[in-house]
Amino acid sequence: MLAQAVESYLAVRRACGFKLEGTDWRLRSFATFSDARGKSYVCSQTAIEWAGLARSIPERARRLGGVIRFARYMRAEDQHHEVPPAVFGSENRRRAIPYIFSRHDIERLVQAAVHPAFRGLRRDTYSTFFALLACTGLRVSEAIGLRYEDITPDGLVIRSSKFGKSRLVALHETARDHLDRYLERRRRYAPFDDHVFVSVKRKALCGSDVRCAFRTAARKIGLPCGSQRPRATPHSLRHTFAVRALETCPDSRDRITQHMLALSTYLGHAKVADTYWYWIQ
């Protein structure tokens, strides 16, 4: 049965260090679909039919791409398995052009985050949160996950980030002063939670809280945050930090290489190629 083969394949891949987030449930869904049609081997027609059930072309491509890799693995030992053609195109999506803030826009955004409808600590939480993203280039999830112990004399300790790595992010003295002032009020507001940023429920912020507050502030100052491209999002603050850092890059080849490597490490990129992507924008 394909269901057993899928579990074996996933176990081998995970043993090699792959997380397979999303791939696991897709392949299990495919195995269930195939088993229901009496297929003991990967069948191209069945795979294409299953992948075609997805609503969007990119999702169809991702579904079929996972089956193709699984089929190649299985075919190495049994030629009865068919490797489907990539009829829905590449599963690698082209990265959207990032929205880059001007310095004035960032200042306006931080000020707009102090929304009149917000009361108590919330008036300071999002202005501090967005300002921190802008001056450090942190991911939203990294800022949300910050705890008191992560604020050290040397900077912010980012623990087990996107790729399971930890790093130290330096803080300018002005950013540290602003953060310290915020923490004076924050500690009194939710003394039993050690997250740096908390919601009105006195618990750690969640991504939806941040996105909602960002859209409110962005619309208030007229930033594009709808469906058009490029559009402003909380992650755009990280994009902006990376681009501004590249603008300070020296001219010589060796110094450019050093600058790019340092920036890649600072941003927590898994590959330096992800940092060079900003260079070509």
Tell me whether residue 182 is one of the annotated catalytic residues.
no
Q: Is 162 a catalytic residue?
A: yes
Identify whether 238 is a catalytic site residue: yes
The catalytic residue among 235, 244, 259, 276 is: 235
Grouping H, G, I as helix, E, B as strand and the rest as coil, residue 16 is: coil
- The answer to whether 221 touches 115, Cβ cutoff 8 Å, is no
Helices and strands: H and E segment counts in the chain: 12, 3
- What is d(CA 147, CA 186) in angstroms, rounded to the nearest whole number? 12
269 belongs to the catalytic site = yes
Q: What is the DSSP string of 53-114?
A: TSSSHHHHHHHHHHHHHHHHHHHTT-TTS-----TT--SSPPPPPPP---HHHHHHHHHHTS
On whether the CB atoms of residues 70 and 41 are closer than 8 A, the answer is no
Judged by DSSP in three states, 197 sits in: coil
Specify whether the CB–CB gap between 25 and 3 falls below 8 A: no
Q: Has 73 been annotated as catalytic?
A: no
Catalytic annotation, pick one of 72, 80, 162, 271: 162
The catalytic position among 63, 122, 186, 238 is 238
Q: Region of 89 please: left (phi>0), alpha (psi -120 to 50) or beta.
A: left
Residue from 62, 122, 139, 239 carrying the catalytic annotation: 139
Buried b (16+ CB within 10 A) or exposed e, 210-241: beebbbbbbeeeebebeeeeebbbbbbbbbbb
220 is catalytic: no
Active site residues: 139, 162, 235, 238, 269, 278
